[in-house]
Amino acid sequence: MNTGMILGLTLGSLAAMVPIVLTSVGAAISERAGVVNIGYEGILMLSAFFGTITAELAHNGWVGLLGGALTGIAIGIVHGVITVYLKGDHVIPGIGINLIGYGGVAFGILAYWGTAGQHQVAPNAQIKPLWMDAFGNSLSPMVVITIAVAFIAWWVLFKTPFGLRIRAVGENPEAADALGVNVELYRFTAVLIASALSGIAGAYLSVDWLGTVTKTIAAGRGFIALANMVFSGWDPILSLVGGLIFGFFDNLAIYIQNNPWLAGTIPWQFIATLPYLVTLLVVAGIIGRARAPKWDGIPYKRE
């Protein structure tokens, strides 16, 4: 273990932390308002795809992030209308969205670029790193932005009237309603914020971190983010800690697979299970203490 390796692993963990934290911060906001969504995996998929298209059209990675956010919002509107306004089930739409995500991206890559399963993002459509060394280690501006987003989200949730109302409609919608808070509007807004953040995370996967779109690009990160949200107790700042742990193992798996000396000793398939195994163990270890918002996942109907 030398300094170069440590630097590589640290920067890699930070890069892997970004999509997980952005999504779990969003999911925390949505669930604080009482809306569960398990469709983040599908949002990551579709926004990685549409984010790349917009980035390549504009020759600008940042526009790609915007494209990702808009993709997320479009899906969020569907989920929000079904769960918040029509009082539907909170889990089923996400199952459908995830299926659309995986099918749609595999279909879309073929339909749009004519290649099977994978498309390399054009260099001028990728986000330039803040810093880079000769060995390919780099630091994306999105790492800094993600940390800022986590702190801002915490401040908004816990220190502003808007955040108080978000939490109120998830914790006790009847009381919030009696005080004149528009429960549906706040819930819907929270869903859109969450989907937008997850959409940015998806576009980051393709136009920044990985530089490619594949038909399995999300690779379970939408669900790892949900695990991280539970792990962090629905707290945006704490989700940075969890995000770094999950990011470390996500990145470690990639790191070992690319390291011929280590990869020869253990089957790569075992290493590939690491992020999922760690997620399972961490969630199993802490869950007794986790407490979800009281009306999380329960439609609110006025009496």
Which spans of this chain sit near another protein (rule: CB under 8 A)?
38, 42, 78, 82, 86-89, 91-93, 95-104, 106-108, 110-112, 215, 219-220, 223-224, 226-227, 230, 267, 269-270, 272-273, 276-277, 279-280, 283-284, 287-288, 290
Residue 84: CB minimum distance to another protein, A: 12
Residue 18: CB minimum distance to another protein, A: 20
Residue 249: CB minimum distance to another protein, A: 12
Question: Of 58 and 82, which CB lies nearer to another protein in the complex structure?
Answer: 82
Amino acid (one-letter) located at 31: E
Contact by Cβ (8 Å): 51, 206: yes
Nearest to 158 by CA among 235, 241, 233: 235
Nearest to 238 by CA among 248, 230, 249, 250: 230
Inter-CA distances, 301 with 37, 85, 167, 282, Å: 19, 9, 17, 35
Token pair 């869903």 in the structure block, residue: 191
Residue 6: CB minimum distance to another protein, A: 27
For the packed helices 236-257 and 221-231, what is the interaxial angle rounded to 10 degrees? 140
Nearest to 232 by CA among 243, 221, 222: 243
Question: Of 115 and 124, which CB lies nearer to another protein in the complex structure?
Answer: 115
Question: Of 260 and 267, which CB lies nearer to another protein in the complex structure?
Answer: 267
Contacts 24+ apart (CB under 8 A), 55-59: 55/121, 55/125, 55/126, 55/203, 55/206, 55/207, 56/121, 56/122, 56/125, 58/125, 59/122, 59/124, 59/125
Question: Of 19 and 42, which CB lies nearer to another protein in the complex structure?
Answer: 42
Question: Of 158 and 223, which CB lies nearer to another protein in the complex structure?
Answer: 223
Contact by Cβ (8 Å): 240, 277: no
Residue 184: CB minimum distance to another protein, A: 15
Residue 277: CB minimum distance to another protein, A: 6
Inter-CA distances, 11 with 112, 195, 202, 247, Å: 33, 26, 19, 10
Contact by Cβ (8 Å): 183, 300: yes
Question: Of 62 and 102, which CB lies nearer to another protein in the complex structure?
Answer: 102
Question: Of 88 and 233, which CB lies nearer to another protein in the complex structure?
Answer: 88
Question: Of 72 and 104, which CB lies nearer to another protein in the complex structure?
Answer: 104
Residue 266: CB minimum distance to another protein, A: 10
Residue 128: CB minimum distance to another protein, A: 31
